Every structure is written in structure tokens, then in C-alpha cells.
Structure 1
């Protein structure tokens, strides 16, 4: 497949690029002009843009792609509206190019409480995290709304706390909900699940909870 990856210099996006190349895909990695990007591969093309909110600037990167994957997300509490702004531009470029399949990453607190979750998670941990990172989750909620309202064949993954651990390929997922007692997931395994979703029509039009 020919894939376009946004957020290619980030934790999840970098894993998507490497895993996709290892799987034999052709990859266009979209990076900002100020970013450095080290991977080199015969099947890798690097598209450099000034920003992610201008659909016209993104159009060449998504034209002809079979799917677009986005690892774009906030890197701190004061990241503003980076996720929604970038996703708005990406979706507009996809619509203009006719590219339909879109897989993006959000966060577990944006989704509903997990069925069968423990009391600590529901009554203590989740409310504290949601309060501390309220601006981040507000932006991701807007982002998810943009995705749902688009004409894309979309899938959104909602991980809990992201950790830097090796790829395992073993994790739990829940269509339309969050994973009960799911506290962490590695960025490498989120990338793995996002790529796997490209071959799973059951994930189209669904949010997917993921955790160990």
C-alpha cells in the first residue's frame, strides 16, 4: 500500500513509518520544515511542509495514497489546538484528493468509561487526569468531531498512558469503548494497531480503545 504518515517525527508516527516500511509499504512521511528526520529507505519519501493546517500545502502528500495515518497530537498541556487544527487541514486535503481511509490517534479519556473498569480508575484516576489535561482532551474532542463529520473512512485509536517500550504485538482492543483496567500501552504497539486497522473493515467508522 501507499501510505501517508503525519506526525512522522513524533513517538507514534515514527513507529508507524518504520513498521510500515518493514512491512513493505511505500511511505510518504510528512514533516515540518523545521523538523529533522533521520530514517532513510528506498520506499520512503519525505514531504516537507511549513505547517499542517493548510490543505493546499498538504495536498501533494496525500494525493495517490491508499490511506493516511496521523500520529499528530499535543506534546504538553499548553499545546493549544494543534490536533484539531492539523486534522482539519489533513481531512480537507484528503477530500480534495479523493483519499478516503484515515486512521488517527486520540486518547482514552475522550471516550466513555470502560465497562467493568475498577473503582480506582473510574472514581479517582480518570477524573484527576481529565482535570489536569482538560485543554488537551478538549482539543482531541474537537478533533474527533471533525473526523466523525468528515466523509473519510476513519478509525480513531484511544490509548491510555503512552510508554516507550518495545513492540510486542500483544494488547487488548475494544471497539467503541475503552479497555477495562488498561493503564498503559507502548507507542510502538499503538502504531502496530493503527497499521493493522487498515486491513480490518470492522474498525471503519469506529473509535477503538487500546491498552495492555
Structure 2
């Protein structure tokens, strides 16, 4: 499968690329900074360099893809301004429609709600902290997700609370708040593996599963 990965040079994105290569997918990696492209990537990884608001570069990256994976996440810098990832996500969706790409898999937090959630205190706490401590990032995250959920594209948004470094432990819990027991911590390796697995796992189409170790 030909897969385009946005946020490919980030902490989770790099592991997503590795997972896809291990599964013998063909990868196009979208990078905003060519200097961050890992030297370990094989030569057959197609790299497209551009800002997240570069419509032409995004169109080039999406052309020929069977699916798009986004490991993009809002900046936590309180000095950041604007909502560039919302603008970029709109461009990604437009490019997907132009090229007939129907599958999108992205990442999010419990601030993004799913109709199957039952609104636990855990989820409400995460949303409250986002709105209070990082309101710009919170608005950007919700704006991105809202665009995807209403795009007419077959989507999955993998939600998690507290990503951490370390080896994969396996996603022991996944599902929806109030129905399934979801913990707080999950390794970035497990986030990446679960995200990549959604290419062939049909359980969470048009859904936002939450995961934890």
C-alpha cells in the first residue's frame, strides 16, 4: 500500500514510518525541515519537503497514495500564534479528494470526542486542562479533528493521554471512554504501531478509539 505520512519526522511520525516499512508499505514522508529526515531511512522513502500550509507540496505528497496518516500535533509553545495545522489539514483533505484518496488515520487526545463516549471524569479533566492551560493548541486540535470527521473521507483518529518514550509494551486497552477501561500512559512506539495497524484493521472506521498500555 502507498502511504503518505504527515508529521513524519516527529517523535511518533518517525516510528510510524518504521512500522510501515517493516510491513512493506511504500512510504511518502512529508517533512517541514529536510535536516530532520533520519539518515537511517532507506533510499526508497519518498520525501516531500514543505510547510504544512504549502498547497503545492501537499498535493505532490498525496498524489498516488492509497492512504494518509497524520502524526501532526499542535505546538505546545505558548508564544505560538494562529492555527496552521487546521489550515494544513484542510489542504490535505482537498488534495485527498482531488486524488481519490479515501482513507485517513490521525492522532488526537480525549479532548476530541466520539459519539460512543460516555463522558468520564478522566476525559473531562483532559479537556479542561487543554482549554485552560493551552487554549490555542486545544482549538487547533479540535479544529483539525472536526475537519476530518466531516470530510466525507473514511477516517480513524487514535486518541491517547500521556505519551512516553520507551519500548513497545502492547496496547492492552482500547475503545471508548465510559464503555472501556482506558488508562493514562502509552508508549509512542505503541501509538505508532496501533496507528499503522489501522490501515488493515476495520474495527474503528469513522471512529476515534482511545488507547493505553
Q: TM-score, normalised by structure 2?
A: 0.86
State how far apart, in whole Å, the 1-side matches of 2:52 and 2:124 are: 37
Q: How many pairs were matched up?
A: 209
In 1: Cα distance, 2:123 partner to 2:106 partner = 25
- Cα shift at 1:115: 5.0
Asked if residue 127 in structure 1 is aligned to residue 128 in structure 2, the reply is yes
Give yes or no for contact 1:55–1:92 (8 Å, CA) kept in 2.
Answer: no
1:68 paired with 2:68, answer yes
Task: Label 1:55 to 1:165 Cα distance change in 2 as closer, same or farther (>3 A).
Answer: same
Match of 2:83 in 1: 81
Q: Secondary structure at the match of 2:47?
A: strand
Q: Which residue of 1 aligns with 2:171?
A: 170
Structure 1 stretches lacking a partner, 5+ long: none
Note closer, same or farther for the CA distance 1:33–1:177 as it changes in structure 2 (3 Å cut). Answer: farther
What does the per-residue CA deviation read over 1:162-207, in whole Å, with 9 as the maximum and x for residues that have no partner?
Answer: 1112122333111587864511111111111111111122311111
Deviation string 1:130-176 (CA, Å, 9 cap, x unpaired) is 42123222211111110011121111111101111212233311158
2:145 matched to which residue of 1?
144
Q: 1:57 to 1:12 in 2, by over 3 A?
A: same
Which stretches in structure 2 are left out of the alignment for 5+ residues?
none
Shift, 1:16, TM fit:
0.3
3-state SS of the aligned residue for 1:166? Answer: coil
Is 2:196 the counterpart of 1:198? no
Counterpart of 1:83 in 2: which secondary structure? Answer: helix
The structure-2 alpha-carbon separation of the partners of 1:127 and 1:96, relative to structure 1 and needing over 3 Å to count, comes to: same
> What is the rounded CA distance, in whole Å, between the counterparts of 2:179 and 2:138 in structure 1?
15
Deviations 1:51-97 (CA, angstroms, capped at 9, x unpaired): 12233321121111111100011131434423322211211111111
For 1:207 and 1:124, locate their aligned partners in 2 and report how far apart those are by CA, in whole Å.
18
